[in-house]
């Protein structure tokens, strides 16, 4: 088995003005504050929330006294991942339940990162999907806890149902030390059903409840 780094694929959304954000989150802005012509250097002022674009949720996001993003060991952000394709079996806007994951059960290993490709990412930029994306249910979160996975990623703005009365999926995963990666790009679909090496490094934000991440998929040969 070897990792094919020369074929690595970026799963990260570009940070840009007007990009999709979870409704109610701070609106990001990216403004050139200095230019080579005027100042001899290009410099950009960034204004954004900690959960803008492709990002990682730390336990402290919902768990009082939980680990912050800078406290999670860096080795946790690098590991083998299984890409689970639910785009053909789940309508966009529906909730993922354990029976949807059953066919992948034997492929999910202890300490795996599970990446959910739902097809919602194909609608990135469509305002109608910002509040009607595919999400995990509490039962699916319990399933991932029982499988002892390291992290769960999903290809849209949140792993939780839009405006859920209680953020039970986040709490279930995060209180069990399972961190969450949200807003992975549609590039994930090319690895449907495959195992990859995931390198997903969040910005080291002091006491951060989450942080934008650069998420990279590295193909595995001979697994």
Tokens at 174, concatenated: 């995060």
Q: Check residue 218 and give its pLDDT.
A: 98
pLDDT at residue 223 greater than cutoff 80: no
- Which residue has tokens 């807003």? 183
Question: Among the residues of the chain, which ranges form H helices?
Answer: 36-39, 98-101, 138-146, 168-175
In this prediction, residues 147-172 reach a mean pLDDT of 97
Helices (H) and strands (E) in the chain — how many of each? Answer: 4, 13
Distance CA 14, CA 24 (A): 20
What is the torsional sign of CA 144, 149, 155, 158? positive
Q: What percent of the chain has pLDDT over 70?
A: 100
Partners of 153 in the β-ladder:
115, 181
E strand map for the chain: 2-3, 9-10, 29-34, 43-47, 55-57, 78-85, 95-96, 113-117, 135-136, 151-154, 179-182, 195-202, 210-221
What is the torsional sign of CA 167, 121, 92, 201? negative
- Condensed to tens digits (0 to 9), the pLDDT of residues 182-194 reads 999 999 999 999 9
| 3 in Cβ contact with 216 (< 8 Å) | no
Angle between helices 168-175 and 138-146 (to 10 degrees): 10
Distance CA 217, CA 10 (A): 6
Q: Check residue 119 and give its pLDDT.
A: 98
Q: Check residue 1 and give its pLDDT.
A: 84
Q: What percent of the chain has pLDDT over 90?
A: 99
- Condensed to tens digits (0 to 9), the pLDDT of residues 74-103 reads 999 999 999 999 999 999 999 999 999 999
- Condensed to tens digits (0 to 9), the pLDDT of residues 7-51 reads 999 999 999 999 999 999 999 999 999 999 999 999 999 999 999
Q: Check residue 36 and give its pLDDT.
A: 97
- Condensed to tens digits (0 to 9), the pLDDT of residues 100-153 reads 999 999 999 999 999 999 999 999 999 999 999 999 999 999 999 999 999 999
pLDDT at residue 168 greater than cutoff 70: yes
Which residue segments constitute the domains of the chain, with CATH numbers given? Answer: 2-12+50-221 (3.50.30.50)
């Amino acid at each position: 088995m070897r990792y094919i780094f020369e074929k690595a694929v970026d799963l990260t959304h570009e940070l840009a003005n007007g990009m999709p954000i979870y409704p109610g989150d701070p609106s990001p802005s990216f403004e050139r504050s200095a230019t080579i012509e005027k100042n001899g250097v290009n410099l950009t002022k960034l204004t954004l929330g900690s959960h803008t674009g492709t990002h990682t949720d730390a336990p402290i996001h919902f768990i009082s006294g939980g680990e912050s993003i800078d406290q999670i060991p860096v080795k946790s952000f690098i590991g083998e991942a299984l890409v689970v394709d639910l785009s053909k079996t789940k309508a966009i806007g529906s909730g993922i339940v354990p029976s949807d994951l059953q066919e992948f059960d034997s492929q999910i290993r202890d300490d795996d990162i599970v990446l959910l490709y739902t097809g919602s990412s194909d609608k990135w930029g469509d305002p109608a999907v910002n509040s009607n994306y595919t999400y995990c249910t509490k039962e699916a979160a319990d399933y991932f806890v029982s499988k002892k996975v390291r992290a769960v990623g999903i290809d849209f703005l949140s792993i939780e149902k839009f405006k859920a009365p209680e953020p039970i999926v986040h709490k279930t995963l995060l209180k069990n030390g399972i961190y969450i990666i949200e807003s992975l790009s549609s590039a994930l679909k090319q690895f449907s059903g495959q195992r990859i090496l995931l390198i997903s490094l969040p910005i080291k934000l002091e006491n951060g409840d989450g942080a934008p991440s650069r998420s990279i998929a590295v193909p595995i040969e001979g697994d």
